[in-house]
């Protein structure tokens, strides 16, 4: 039996959104940190019951796994609410994904401009320029071009899509790991705490976060299908060679 492992990082994603706007936030030292904590807590409280409800409502697991639809979620919805209800849910999911993509684009545009302004990105002088309306248009164009290039690369290839999404998830998690590990092991004496911080819970939570991200790193480079074949194992080979 074919087993698909679906790791949805977006169930626990978005809690760093307030950090992207920290430069435009008043009293960021307390407000941004509190926003990240509140966002993480709310995401956890809402995601866990949602995932449990989805798992408990599965009626035919084998039917979902062997479904002919490109999305296993479509077969799941058909089992629960029928074809018409499934279409309605999938439309809402599509709209939700569209709005999430817009938010991700704006976030990527903002980060691209910020690192270009600091001279980190190649061509920073060009990408850090603002339009007459003081908008980072050049940074937005770069994000659009890279997005289209990635989307075109996965057309007609589920292996390429799985490899890119897995690599992107790994890179995202590693971007969290680096500052946490640097603060805990390299900058304990020089790190300046925010006004609103975790206090004595900071050290143990840092260690837990580091171990969890390292665990995710191992999980995400594993093949997504079993048994491992020349096709399903291709993802692991590509990621391992990099």
* Res 46: pLDDT: 83
Q: How many CB atoms lie within 10 A of CB 110?
A: 18
**Section 123-147 average pLDDT:** 88
Flag whether pLDDT at 54 surpasses 80. Answer: yes
* Res 22: pLDDT: 67
**Section 107-116 average pLDDT:** 84
* Res 210: pLDDT: 92
pLDDT band, residue 228 (cuts 50/70/90): low
**Section 145-156 average pLDDT:** 82
pLDDT band, residue 130 (cuts 50/70/90): confident
Q: Could you read off the pLDDT of 182-221 as tens digits, one per residue?
A: 888 887 777 777 777 788 888 898 899 899 989 988 887 7
* Res 4: pLDDT: 36
pLDDT band, residue 226 (cuts 50/70/90): low
* Res 13: pLDDT: 56
Flag whether pLDDT at 11 surpasses 50. Answer: no
Q: Could you read off the pLDDT of 68-93 as tens digits, one per residue?
A: 777 778 888 888 888 888 899 889 98
Q: What is the DSSP string of the chain?
A: --------GGGG--TTHHHHTGGGSTTHHHHHHHHHHHHHHHHHHHHHHHHHHHHHT-S-HHHHHT-SSS-HHHHHHHHHHHHHHHHHHHHHHHHHHHHHHHHHHHHHHHHHHHHHHTT-STTHHHHT---TTS--HHHHHHHHHHHHHHHHHTTT-HHHHHHHHHHHHHHHHHHHHHHHHIIIII-TTTPPPPSS--GGGHHHHHHHHHHHHHHHHHHHTS-SSSS--TTTHHHHHHHHH-
Whole-number Å distance between alpha carbons of 192 and 189 = 8
* Res 238: pLDDT: 46
């Amino acid at each position: 039996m074919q087993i698909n492992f679906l790791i949805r990082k977006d169930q626990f994603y978005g809690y760093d959104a307030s950090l992207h706007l920290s430069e435009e936030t008043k009293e960021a030292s307390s407000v941004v940190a509190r926003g990240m904590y509140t966002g993480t807590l709310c995401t956890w409280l809402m995601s866990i019951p949602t995932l449990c409800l989805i798992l408990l409502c599965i009626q035919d697991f084998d039917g979902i796994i062997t479904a002919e639809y490109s999305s296993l979620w479509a077969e799941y919805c058909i089992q629960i609410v029928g074809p018409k209800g499934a279409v309605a849910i999938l439309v809402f999911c599509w709209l939700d994904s569209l709005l999430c993509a817009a938010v991700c684009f704006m976030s990527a545009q903002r980060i691209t401009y910020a690192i270009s302004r600091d001279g980190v990105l190649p061509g920073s002088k060009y990408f850090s320029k603002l339009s007459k309306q003081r908008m980072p248009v050049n940074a937005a164009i770069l994000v659009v071009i890279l997005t289209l290039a990635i989307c075109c690369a996965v057309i007609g290839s589920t292996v390429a899509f799985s490899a890119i999404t897995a690599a992107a998830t790994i890179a995202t998690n590693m971007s969290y790991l680096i500052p946490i590990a640097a603060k805990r092991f390299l900058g304990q004496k020089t790190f300046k705490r925010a006004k609103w911080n975790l206090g004595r819970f900071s050290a143990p939570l840092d260690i837990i976060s580091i171990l969890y991200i390292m665990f995710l790193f191992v999980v995400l480079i594993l093949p997504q299908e079993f048994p491992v074949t020349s096709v399903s194992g291709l993802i692991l080979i590509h990621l391992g060679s990099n």
